[in-house]
Structure 1
């Protein structure tokens, strides 16, 4: 029976080649999109699940409100981990990570260093908490001794080639020597943090015991069956027992007074497997994903697949008149309805299987480009892994049943006497369900078009917004600290080059870079209402000028004023929180060391206009600039039209001064855009899938228009004989479809408005959703539908009426 079904199904598909092509090609695109998004979604959901103890690992997060700032950190105080393990038996182990950014690394004796990112200090308990298999070395002792480092296999090959790195010394930052104590396998790519170098925490130059400073990523491994939600209540005890006394020592105030002043501090636990998609804290170890995008892309995949299935259902039911007599004859010959349903379902599943074969080919071709768009490294091999294969097998069966169920039941319900007399009516106007499905198709397409327009408008707004400093034409040279005292010489040499306007050396830039938060108070005050928690950046005399910041009060730093070593420039947000009406000349102070109770006093010499130094998702916070010799990077404002030549000249100056260190640079525009790389990817992916969704919908519309034109051939011939113009016939055939498209626009607009309003809520600075965005989406949808339908309408309208009437 099944063999017979397959033979008949194959003959039917070959006989109707045009509609078969539209069905298979439309389904193939839908399935390919679904598989690509499935790979993306499953990859996002797999983060950190490689850890065998993942279900028992949590990270301590901190939420602090103080000095006008509402801060949400992925870091917590350095004593948090040891204290939780000491005081609470539910804690099996802890590990702290302290990321120190980019360092220069080389083997001892090598002349040239390599620039390595994400150098991380870690406790010796690292391998007790995380599943990081070692190729060589003892996990219990790897980081237990000072001056030891664990490196990845890739780092070992990069620095040692085929030699055994165990026990070999390596030089970090040109002055710190560490011995390789273990080699670990490369960390999986689906980890919320990655590092090629873990250094012993013993060597971290940090003032330990700071309960009021949050600088460490603290992970807790709980014992099995621990009620983590109940355990979280213990943080209130931690605050009163440890943070309260240190706050009293520093500020002379109790935690009750701290809270009465409108401040707060709290800690909570996030599961390890939730960090990548659910944590929106500041100071993450690496950029996270967003569960919102997983939901969006999952919905897009479902929409596109439904559009493809709707095409199948529409075309199958529209062609029902062609198969009505076949159904009648089969029933007269004794076929039961169940057999007919089986026949039509077999055709549906066969069509889907053929579409799946084509879809896999499309995925194989498109995957490299999709990886580039999504920032992933996924492989077609993943589709046949045990994790994906059940989905891959189930997908064509489910889609075949879904797409073929209605046509099968619809076609098998024809009564033999009625159809053999030619009385089956399947006209377009009476096909209410088919019209509803067309509306649904274009409704989803319009939602995608509106979403794409708004995403791109927001990205354009971010890229063109006045952020308070001039980020264009600024070239940043990294790793200037490697030059030591010659950093200033390098700056002066570059300033002599034609096309270089000004230059500054600082480790702090208004792009993703270092940050340093401190609490400041007006002189003579510890009133918590008069305090401000703000970033404190060390800069040089030319920083404000080079970055094009605007002073609204006072003056810039100047070598002519020796007192500027204790001067400070605030932004407008800091002045507002401190409550100064005339800030110039006022003095503020900060604690340098909580335990030693030392403090430093600054005199306000200037106020700089607010500028964005973090993502536009956040409001501008308080910030201060002080003179300091921090030499993380050199920034140069350039005016040259031949930038490649200028970069080569700067590199030559670099190599003259420090030939053994690698030269690395980027433009500030690129660094700024990096903060919004996720949104740019989402916009590009949304545009791609919106275009594909419209293409699939148009394939169905094209097929329906062709069928309707064929059904009305006689009517068109009669109208032309009676004097109807080509234009009136085109309008007649197009208006029914355009009505459906207009209905879909009306339904889609409020849905798109609500969905995109929710997305924009993540940004503190955002565009307004305007009426023209929906109008443009509607015009595009109508234009695309009209072009699709008009082809068939014009073809039918131009047909010779003699031929059409004779054929009937």
Structure 2
């Protein structure tokens, strides 16, 4: 029986090559999209699962009430590390204090390499379940040791055994390589971790770290703490235990900020990374849902094509159904036959989709910034693939199977096989409307995402980023010879100015409280971004002054001066009517008085989608670890970089020359949204193509079905234009209905999406109008070919049988 079903299905497949190609091609494309999205979702959901203790690892986070809102941050005070170890040892298997991931210079003999790494306390390697390739992680008990990732070890030592070799960190810390661990995969929070050095070494070599630990400073929060919960510990219950740990250690001034210590489980780091007023809300999980739903709908579009074409061709199958029923076939036998035809289409589509997915995966990885591999040897993948194929076959074949098998044999054999008029065409029209409603919604969503990115990119940033180059310096050589370096650079003619800062232009590394000014509400507890800089920083980056002046070496008092941004001035209530009134006002910071000498336009240093943080700039006694130079616009960039490297190497020969363009750093802030926009654009184009593929098939079938009608009309004098209009009018109406349905749906969804951005674009009416016109044009172009072809057919040939 099954053999006969398959044989009939194969004959129908071969006998209708055009429709078979449309069905298989559409389903293959829909399944490819679903498969790519499935791999992406699997990668997102498996983030951090490389670590064996994934479900028991948590990050200690701190919450404080600032400006009436609860702010949440990963930075915590150093004494918290010891308190968690000693007072809550039953709740934790391991407690690890760590520095922030930064780039350091690693030197072996005469070769130097800049790689990211961390200083971590004992137990970090075991907590993160690092897979050791050489040596042992337990050797980190010695402070003068280091663990390297496999790629970093290969870069430094090539094929030589790295264990027991001596290297230097930033030219001043001699450490012995005691182990090499397997590179952590890309879908882990720690995938950039190039090395781990003992935290004791960090404390011994860095004065402020040592002071923070020895002085038991609970006020300064400059570290990260990771914990591995014991097997029977619940993160929520432990969070409740440690909640007021800092509150009981700070003075009355510190208690005003209502500090709370809680745990953020590793299972939520990636997908639920955002906090709103103290509540862990959302994150990339939104994109998981978004693309998951998109994948389902794109696959549904392909299934709808199959349903529409199968039911549209039902007239040719009606007599077959009538004869089968007349000789004794029951309905379930007919249902089984039509399902077998569906599966015969779906299985080759699945094979094609496997090939397409494999071919497209490298490009998809590049767009999505992933490192996904095709899981050829994963039995779970093949089991899911089989289930996925059967489910697709069932969805695609369900409506045709139950529709065609419902024909009454007597009516079918008499030619009165199915309902006429609206009842006959309504299901196909509804399915077509669903197809284009989904496609139009995707188009509108993609346009809004792209418009939001442009809106943020066009936002004034408060400085001139073109021509700015920034470098992280890992020792004091450049700072010590700052004037000589600047003089040499000016002589080359490739640089116009240079300055130092404690943070790069596109990030804020430090924020502080303890500021007081005239008229401040005593109950107001506020945090300001604090950026230490050198003289000429404003000149180098191109500050725009709203009032006052820049720092100057001509004024010795500028060491006790502040340059603030507009956001800070407005928050302080200084110069409400005229910002010039803020100049000369005194602001005290931890008891020390500073004079405001200038107010600048707001600089976007963090997210371009959020309000600018209140910022204060001051002269840093040590300049800072970041050097920023402005290139001469009349000099070719490659020549300027070459000259820059030569001068830096002259004064700092042992360190590699690493630089970044500030405009590229700023552009990186749009990476997440641009990835979403690119992926959405790809899926939208495929959805439109699949919908048009089905529309093309339906149009060709309708033209074939109405051949004689068109011939008669042509004999009676109908023009080609009128026949084109006749064939296209139904499809135009359906697309217009789809536009009307998609508009409110898309507006609602995109309005909800834009809510998470404080600085966002309005949803303009022209987006809906342009999308509707564009979709209508695409649909008309798809139908027109078949319509004109049918209208141009010679009526003698179409009416010959009459």
TM-score band by shorter chain is over 0.9
- Among candidates 150, 153, 158, match of residue 156 of structure 1: 153
Aligned to 2:705: 711
> 1:722 and 2:723 equivalent?
no
Q: Residues 546 and 637 of structure 1 are in contact (CA less than 8 Å); yes or no, is this contact kept in structure 2?
A: no
Residue 617 of structure 1, CA deviation: 3.2
Q: Residues 247 and 258 of structure 2 are in contact (CA less than 8 Å); yes or no, is this contact kept in structure 1?
A: no
Higher mean Cα deviation, 263-272 or 90-99?
263-272
Q: Name the count of aligned residue pairs.
A: 777
* Aligned counterparts of 2:339 and 2:512: Cα–Cα separation in 1: 69
Q: Residues 62 and 74 of structure 1 are in contact (CA less than 8 Å); yes or no, is this contact kept in structure 2?
A: yes
Residue 807 of structure 1, CA deviation: 4.2
- Among candidates 563, 571, 574, match of residue 577 of structure 1: 571
Aligned to 2:612: 620
Residue 648 of structure 1, CA deviation: 2.6
> 1:317 and 2:316 equivalent?
no
Q: Residues 218 and 246 of structure 2 are in contact (CA less than 8 Å); yes or no, is this contact kept in structure 1?
A: no
Residue 4 of structure 1, CA deviation: 2.1
Deviations 1:103-149 (A, max 9, x none): 11112xx22311112x211110213422112234443x333232221
Residue 748 of structure 1, CA deviation: 1.0
State how 1:191-340 maps to structure 2 within 5 Å. Answer: 191-194=188-191, 195-204=193-202, 205=206, 206=209, 207-208=212-213, 209-242=216-249, 246-248=250-252, 251=253, 255=255, 258=256, 263-280=257-274, 290-340=284-334
Q: Residues 61 and 73 of structure 2 are in contact (CA less than 8 Å); yes or no, is this contact kept in structure 1?
A: yes
* Aligned counterparts of 2:101 and 2:288: Cα–Cα separation in 1: 31
Higher mean Cα deviation, 698-707 or 577-586?
577-586
Question: Structure 2 length normalisation: TM-score?
Answer: 0.92
Aligned to 1:658: 652
State how 1:175-186 maps to structure 2 within 5 Å. Answer: 175-186=172-183
Aligned to 1:594: none
State how 1:129-528 maps to structure 2 within 5 Å. Answer: 129-139=127-137, 141-194=138-191, 195-204=193-202, 205=206, 206=209, 207-208=212-213, 209-242=216-249, 246-248=250-252, 251=253, 255=255, 258=256, 263-280=257-274, 290-380=284-374, 382-425=375-418, 429=422, 430-479=424-473, 481=475, 483-484=477-478, 485-498=480-493, 500-512=495-507, 515-522=509-516, 528=522
Q: Residues 77 and 216 of structure 1 are in contact (CA less than 8 Å); yes or no, is this contact kept in structure 2?
A: yes
Task: Note the residue ranges of structure 2 that are not aligned, 5 or more in a row.
Answer: 277-281, 576-580
Q: Residues 481 and 633 of structure 1 are in contact (CA less than 8 Å); yes or no, is this contact kept in structure 2?
A: no
* Aligned counterparts of 1:384 and 1:796: Cα–Cα separation in 2: 50
SS at 1:625's partner residue?
strand
Using a 3 Å threshold, how does the CA distance of structure 1 residues 31 and 641 change in structure 2: closer, same or farther?
farther
Higher mean Cα deviation, 349-358 or 632-641?
632-641
Aligned to 1:85: 85
Using a 3 Å threshold, how does the CA distance of structure 1 residues 264 and 329 change in structure 2: closer, same or farther?
same
Using a 3 Å threshold, how does the CA distance of structure 1 residues 225 and 29 change in structure 2: closer, same or farther?
same
Using a 3 Å threshold, how does the CA distance of structure 1 residues 611 and 312 change in structure 2: closer, same or farther?
same
* Aligned counterparts of 2:486 and 2:752: Cα–Cα separation in 1: 47
* Aligned counterparts of 1:730 and 1:759: Cα–Cα separation in 2: 41
Aligned to 1:586: 585
Q: Residues 92 and 222 of structure 1 are in contact (CA less than 8 Å); yes or no, is this contact kept in structure 2?
A: yes
Residue 661 of structure 1, CA deviation: 2.6
Deviations 1:563-587 (A, max 9, x none): 2222221112222333334332233
SS at 1:553's partner residue?
strand
Aligned to 2:758: 764
* Aligned counterparts of 1:621 and 1:478: Cα–Cα separation in 2: 23
Q: Residues 487 and 631 of structure 1 are in contact (CA less than 8 Å); yes or no, is this contact kept in structure 2?
A: no
SS at 1:469's partner residue?
coil
Aligned to 1:124: 122
Residue 441 of structure 1, CA deviation: 0.5
SS at 2:139's partner residue?
coil
SS at 2:481's partner residue?
helix
SS at 1:26's partner residue?
helix
State how 1:19-34 maps to structure 2 within 5 Å. Answer: 19-34=19-34
SS at 1:715's partner residue?
helix
Deviations 1:606-664 (A, max 9, x none): 12121211102322111111122214222214313632233233233333443443222
Deviations 1:544-601 (A, max 9, x none): 122121122221111111222222211122223333343322333334xxxxxxx544
Residue 67 of structure 1, CA deviation: 5.5
Q: Residues 459 and 608 of structure 2 are in contact (CA less than 8 Å); yes or no, is this contact kept in structure 1?
A: no
SS at 1:142's partner residue?
helix
Deviations 1:694-724 (A, max 9, x none): 0000000000011111111121112112222
Q: Residues 60 and 220 of structure 1 are in contact (CA less than 8 Å); yes or no, is this contact kept in structure 2?
A: yes
RMSD: 2.3
Using a 3 Å threshold, how does the CA distance of structure 1 residues 65 and 543 change in structure 2: closer, same or farther?
same
Deviations 1:19-38 (A, max 9, x none): 00000000000001111111
Residue 411 of structure 1, CA deviation: 1.2
Residue 689 of structure 1, CA deviation: 0.6
Q: Residues 471 and 626 of structure 2 are in contact (CA less than 8 Å); yes or no, is this contact kept in structure 1?
A: no
Residue 444 of structure 1, CA deviation: 0.6
State how 1:509-658 maps to structure 2 within 5 Å. Answer: 509-512=504-507, 515-522=509-516, 528-529=522-523, 532-581=526-575, 582-591=581-590, 600-628=592-620, 629-640=623-634, 642-658=636-652
* Aligned counterparts of 1:6 and 1:612: Cα–Cα separation in 2: 65
Using a 3 Å threshold, how does the CA distance of structure 1 residues 121 and 508 change in structure 2: closer, same or farther?
same
Residue 235 of structure 1, CA deviation: 3.6
Residue 448 of structure 1, CA deviation: 0.5
* Aligned counterparts of 2:409 and 2:476: Cα–Cα separation in 1: 89
Aligned to 2:279: none
Higher mean Cα deviation, 553-562 or 695-704?
553-562
Aligned to 1:37: 37
Deviations 1:456-484 (A, max 9, x none): 11111222221111212323344374633
Residue 510 of structure 1, CA deviation: 2.8
Q: Residues 504 and 626 of structure 2 are in contact (CA less than 8 Å); yes or no, is this contact kept in structure 1?
A: no
* Aligned counterparts of 2:339 and 2:160: Cα–Cα separation in 1: 63
* Aligned counterparts of 2:170 and 2:118: Cα–Cα separation in 1: 13
Q: Residues 124 and 142 of structure 1 are in contact (CA less than 8 Å); yes or no, is this contact kept in structure 2?
A: no
Using a 3 Å threshold, how does the CA distance of structure 1 residues 142 and 776 change in structure 2: closer, same or farther?
farther
Q: Residues 244 and 259 of structure 2 are in contact (CA less than 8 Å); yes or no, is this contact kept in structure 1?
A: no
* Aligned counterparts of 2:217 and 2:492: Cα–Cα separation in 1: 46
Deviations 1:47-95 (A, max 9, x none): 1112222222222222323257863312322233432332233233211
Question: Structure 1 length normalisation: TM-score?
Answer: 0.92
Q: Residues 153 and 186 of structure 1 are in contact (CA less than 8 Å); yes or no, is this contact kept in structure 2?
A: yes
SS at 1:752's partner residue?
helix
Q: Residues 23 and 345 of structure 2 are in contact (CA less than 8 Å); yes or no, is this contact kept in structure 1?
A: yes
